[in-house]
Amino acid sequence: MGFFILTTLVFGVFMEMRQHLMIAEKILERTAWFASFLCLWILFSAFQFSFYSKLIQRPNYWIFSKLAFLSFPKYCKRLIPVWISNHLFPLFYALIVLYQGIFLRFWERSILLLTFIFLIGFVHLYLGFIEIKKFKIVSGVSGKKVKRKRPFIVWFYFHLQEERPLLLLLSKLFSLFVLNGFFYTYYQGGYDERWLLFGMLITSFIHFPLWLDKSEFTHRKLSIFNNLPFSLGFKLKNELRTTCIFILPEIGLMLFQGLETWGLWRCLIWAIYWIGLNLGLISMCRLKFQTSRFQLLPIWSFFGAFLAIIYSTPALLFALIPFAFFLHQIRRPYLN
C-alpha cells in the first residue's frame, strides 16, 4: 500500500494536468501501456480487498458483521460509496483516459476500460459480500498463551524488514520510472534543467524509508562496530561503497538519457548531485535517534531543497551541503 501512496503523492501533487493527459494518450496508443494500466487496477483492487478482509476481523470492526443480514443489492448500495472513495486515484486516471479516448476516438479501448471498471467493481463488492457472510469472531485466547495478530500498516517501511527483496525491487523500479518520467517530460519541451534537478530530488525521497531502515539497522546492530576508532577515510569508503551500489541504477539512467544531449561533464555533475542528495538523507535519518523533532525535519528539508532549486542554486554547490553534513555525521563517534 505504501507503494500506491507514493504513486499518489508523486503523480497527484507534482505533475500538471497536461502531463496526465500525455500519459493517458500513451496508454491508449500502446497496447502494452493499456494492459499495464489494467494490471495496476487489478493489483490495487487486490490490495484493497486484502486490507478489507483483514480489517473486518479486528474487534473494533465487528459491528460491520451486521451487513451480512442485507441482500446483495442493498449491500452494494451501501458499499459503493466506500468502494469509490477507496479507488479515487485509479478512478481519476480512468476518467482522464476515458476523456482522451473519446477526444481521440479510441472507442474500443474506452468501452473496454469502462466495462473493466464496472466488472472489477462488481467482483470486489461480491467477494466482500461473501467475506462478510462467512465472518466469524475468532477468539484471541488459545490455551496457555494469547495470540496477538500484527496490525496492518499501510506505510511500506514497516513491512521492509519482512519483505525486503520484493519491496527493495519495487522501490527501485518506481524510482527509475519516476526519474525516467521527468526526463521524458523534459524532452517534450517547456522545461529547463531545474525540472530534472527537481525530479532527482523527488526520486531521492522515494528512498527515504529505505535509508531510515538502514539507519535503524546501523543504530541497533552495528553500534559497537561504529564506536571503534576507525579513520574518517575508512568510514567514508564503507559508506560510499554501499550507497553508490544502491543508487547506481539511477546514475546509469542519467547517463543514458543525458549523455548525448548534455555531455559527460553535465552528467557527472548530476551524478554528484544525486549522490549528495542521498548522503544528506542518510545523515538526516541518523538524526532520528538524536532529536525528538525528527518528524518535521524531512518536510523542512524537502521544501528547503525545493526553494534552492527554484532559485537556480548550482548543482555542485547544492551537493556539497549534504555531503559536508554527512562527513560531520560519520566523523563523530557513535555514543549510543
In the block, which residue shows the cell 546492530? Answer: 221
Task: Map residue 141 onto helix, strand or coil.
Answer: strand
Contact 89, 9 (CB under 8 A): no
For the ranges 115-129, 193-207, 285-299, the lowest mean pLDDT is seen at 285-299
**CA–CA distances in Å: residue 137 to residues 26, 59, 61, 126:** 48, 8, 11, 21
pLDDT at 5: 52
- The H or E element containing residue 145 is strand 145-146
pLDDT at 154: 36
For the ranges 28-32, 166-170, 178-182, the lowest mean pLDDT is seen at 166-170
Mean pLDDT of the chain: 76
Asked whether the predicted pLDDT for residue 122 surpasses 60, the reply is yes
- Where along the chain do its domains lie? 2-146, 165-331
Cell of 102: 473519446
Helices 264-286 and 208-221: crossing angle in degrees, nearest 10, is 50
Dihedral sign computed on CA atoms, order 91, 94, 96, 99: negative
**CB-based contacts of 235-238 (< 8 A; 24+ apart in sequence):** 235/330, 235/331, 236/327, 236/330
More confident residue, 278 or 223: 278
pLDDT at 110: 87
Dihedral sign computed on CA atoms, order 163, 199, 181, 93: positive
Specify which residues 141 forms β-bridges with.
Answer: 146
Over residues 102-114, the pLDDT tens digits come to 888 888 888 998 8
Over residues 230-276, the pLDDT tens digits come to 777 877 887 788 788 888 888 888 888 888 888 888 889 999 999 98
Asked whether the predicted pLDDT for residue 151 surpasses 80, the reply is no
Over residues 1-20, the pLDDT tens digits come to 444 555 555 555 556 677 77
Asked whether the predicted pLDDT for residue 150 surpasses 80, the reply is no
Alpha-carbon gap, residue 308 to 303, rounded angstroms = 9
Give me the amino acid identity at 279: L
Phi, psi of 154 (to 5 degrees): -75, -30
For the ranges 81-85, 108-112, 158-162, 277-281, the lowest mean pLDDT is seen at 158-162
pLDDT at 144: 44
Cell of 289: 535517534
pLDDT at 166: 63
Cell of 275: 549522490
Nearest to 34 by CA among 83, 100, 122, 125: 100
Contacts of residue 149, Cβ cutoff 8 Å, sequence gap at least 6:
57, 140
Alpha-carbon gap, residue 267 to 273, rounded angstroms = 10
Asked whether the predicted pLDDT for residue 286 surpasses 70, the reply is yes
Segment 23-27 shows an average pLDDT of 83
pLDDT at 146: 41
In the block, which residue shows the cell 560519520? Answer: 330
